[in-house]
Amino acid sequence: MVKFRKFLVVIAVLSLLSSMVVGCSSKTSSTAEKTAEKATKEEVVIRHWQHHHEARTPVVKELAQEFEKTHPGVKIEFEAIPYDSYFDKLTTALSSKTAADVFQISALQAQEMIKGGYLQPMPETIMSPSQLRSEFLEWTISQAEKDGKYYGLPTDVQTIVLFINDELYKKAGFDPQNPPKDWNEFLIQAKKGTIVDAQGKMQQAGLDTRYKWAVYTLFIYQMLDGNVVDLVNKKVNYDSPQGLEAWNFIKKLMVDEKVDSPEFMTGQFKFELGKAMFYLNHPVTVGRIKKMAPDLKYTIALPPAPPGHKQTTIGHNWLYVVNKDSKNSEMAWEWVKFLASKEAQLKFIKEAGDLPSMKALLSDDSLFPDENAKVIRKSLEIAYPTQELGEKDVNQIRDEIWTKIILQKASVEDAVKEGAAVENALIQKKLSK
């Protein structure tokens, strides 16, 4: 009987120990699960969209990895979207509130998106308006401002400069070190640089107008003393006497003097292929020339100005912005700030051919090592921001004006007035939303 009682005691002790072990194990398991759950909850995911670019996409991926290293628990989900489908995807996602936390837009889209309530203003904890204005070139951030608040930081900064094929320019009797300073000189030289055969078929263009946006936009902005786009009165001013003068100069170049032809090497890179003397384009074109024509000798100059006007150019850039509906807006802005930082800009400059938007970088001579680069630096200092309220839709309207004047030989005044009326209606529609 005593033995049986001892046996029961042993069984009871073992049962108690077993329950303690199980309880402890259960508690440990529960704690581990809670820890894992907490870690999952603490991870911040920032979704980032921008249109794909063969040079910029790898840079953003590098920067995302660097940001994640210095921000434990943060994951940057980067998606590079083909340019042709980017805006459709972005517009649809914004409407359904499924867009990324951070995305890239043209500066020309900023005011429309701000008014539409899609963007979040930058907190002063990230950067104050006065600090922003002191650090960045004014024209690169002007489109991102509304009522004293800023809604984005600049990226993909470009101006328009004049590329000159040295060999063709010398053959035409000119010195690359003495480029045209005004429209009159430019017209004379472009005409002399144009070559046609006995049948009147073009063999060499005086001016490559493949990128016609650069041509008509530059001349309009150079000619007008005031705003090209008046958002207060919801209208454009390129149908004014000064605006018509700019469009008439385009007609003189293309229709009267025929310095280029839509039928000559249609869609091809005439300048890069050595078949055009002049070319108006962005400085990033330097990268394409290195790939397509590494032996091409060329000079970069500031664009010629209308007679009696000082030399100026236009500036265009994109912006990194934060979605108003972002659930992680504070970290999203930290990421945007990093993308526009000096460290990031140096990567974009050296690896993607971008230009700096930070004033401090303009004084870094190592970024502008030769005469061509120094001209590009000067272009940044004298640039005016393009002011259009939109990108693709506005370009289509102005391309149509170009087509009517150049291809259909329509009256300049009629074509411009019609186009301006269409763009005015577009502006009024956008600003009435």
Q: What is the pLDDT of residues 301-352, one digit of tens each?
A: 999 999 999 999 999 999 999 999 999 999 999 999 999 999 999 999 999 8
Q: Is 6 left (phi over 0), alpha (psi -120 to 50) or beta?
A: alpha
- Three-state secondary structure string covering 172-227: CCCCCCCCCCEHHHHHHHHHHCCEECCCCCEEEEEEECCCHHHHHHHHHHHHCCCC
Do residues 153 and 143 make contact, with C-beta atoms less than 8 angstroms apart?
no
Stretch 21-25: mean pLDDT, rounded? 44
- How far is residue 306's CA from residue 384's CA, in Å, rounded to a whole number? 15
Q: Compute the mean pLDDT over every residue in the chain, rounded to the nearest whole number.
A: 91
Stretch 192-219: mean pLDDT, rounded? 97
In the beta sheet, which residues pair with residue 320?
Answer: 104, 153
pLDDT at 13: 43
In the beta sheet, which residues pair with residue 48?
Answer: 78, 102
Do residues 337 and 126 make contact, with C-beta atoms less than 8 angstroms apart?
yes
Q: Is 371's pLDDT higher than 50?
A: yes
Q: Which of the four pLDDT bands, split at 50, 70 and 90, describes residue 39?
A: very low
List of long-range contacts for 406-413, beta carbons under 8 Å, 24+ apart: 406/250, 406/251, 406/254, 406/255, 406/262, 407/262, 409/255, 412/244, 412/247, 412/248, 412/251, 413/244
From the list 250, 347, 398, 301, the residue with the least C-alpha distance to 361 is 347
- How far is residue 325's CA from residue 92's CA, in Å, rounded to a whole number? 14
Q: Is 35's pLDDT higher than 50?
A: no
From the list 403, 220, 194, 402, the residue with the least C-alpha distance to 303 is 220
pLDDT at 432: 86
> Considering only 285-289, 308-312, 412-416, which range has the smallest mean pLDDT?
285-289
From the list 397, 393, 424, 383, the residue with the least C-alpha distance to 216 is 397
Segment 82-95, tens digit of pLDDT? 999 999 999 999 99
Query: How many residues does this entry show for the chain?
Result: 433
Which residues contact residue 278 at a Cβ distance below 8 angstroms, ignoring those fewer than 6 apart? Answer: 162, 163, 164, 165, 186, 189, 190, 193, 206, 207, 208, 271
Q: Which two tokens stand for residue 184?
A: 């009159």
Helix, strand or coil, per DSSP, at residue 374: helix
CATH domain 161-315+387-431 topology: D-Maltodextrin-Binding Protein; domain 2 (3.40.190)
CATH architecture group of domain 42-157+317-381:
3-Layer(aba) Sandwich (3.40)
Residue ranges matching CATH 3.40.190.10 in the chain: 42-157+317-381, 161-315+387-431
- Total-model pTM: 0.86
> Considering only 39-43, 50-54, 198-202, 250-254, which range has the smallest mean pLDDT?
39-43
Which residues contact residue 48 at a Cβ distance below 8 angstroms, ignoring those fewer than 6 apart? Answer: 60, 64, 76, 77, 78, 79, 100, 101, 102, 103, 335
DSSP state of 355: B
Element spanning 15, H or E: helix 2-42
- How far is residue 41's CA from residue 46's CA, in Å, rounded to a whole number? 14
